[in-house]
Amino acid sequence: MKALLRCFVALRCAVTLRCAVTLLPLVAASSALVTSAWAQTLEPGRWRVMTTTLSGPMTPPEVATRCLTPEDVADLGKTFGPQVKTENSECKRTEFTLEPTGLTWRLQCKGQLNMDVAGQFIFDSPTRYSAMVTTRASMLDQIVQQGMVSISAERIGECR
């Protein structure tokens, strides 16, 4: 399951997951601009991010750290929103809602690889957030990947 997840979709939210959904090479989708009202929702700094795969075989959570810069927290839509590059598929952001307490998005792709990827981020406090990201991919009407990951992150200090 993880191999397919990495093969078809590289989800990088927070540490490895910037919530950039990268579908194999070449067409970029634009991200929404975010006003400075959301800039204070999360604090810049070093974050510990735990990603747990909730579908497929039981695997231990992946734990990593990531530095969120002032620029990252000033534009949470770009930092945690879907960005896509595809070949032989056309992708559309079908949902995108950014509020002071969270971000919800959905990306759907049609073509050689059909994808439906959805994310919901909850900004619990300036030093903590959580998220759920679900992915479903199919080729020739056959599901080739389906998964769900849970993400929890907390600020642990200044960037090094």
CB atoms within 10 A of CB 110: 13
Q: Look at residue 19 and tell me if it is in a domain.
A: yes
Backbone angles phi, psi at 120, to 5 degrees: -135, 115
Q: Look at residue 33 and tell me if it is in a domain.
A: no
Q: Look at residue 144 and tell me if it is in a domain.
A: yes
How many domains would you assign to the chain? 1
Q: Look at residue 70 and tell me if it is in a domain.
A: yes
Range of the domain at 122: 2-28+42-157
> Per-residue confidence of the chain (160 residues) as pLDDT tens digits?
333 333 333 333 333 333 334 332 222 232 333 333 433 479 999 999 999 999 988 899 999 999 999 999 999 999 999 877 778 889 999 999 999 899 999 999 999 889 999 999 999 999 999 999 999 999 988 999 999 999 999 999 999 8
Edge to edge, the sheet with strand 89-99 lists 62-68, 45-53, 142-157, 128-139, 114-125, 102-111, 89-99
> Is the pTM of the predicted complex or chain greater than 0.85?
no
Q: Look at residue 37 and tell me if it is in a domain.
A: no
Q: Look at residue 34 and tell me if it is in a domain.
A: no
Q: Look at residue 36 and tell me if it is in a domain.
A: no
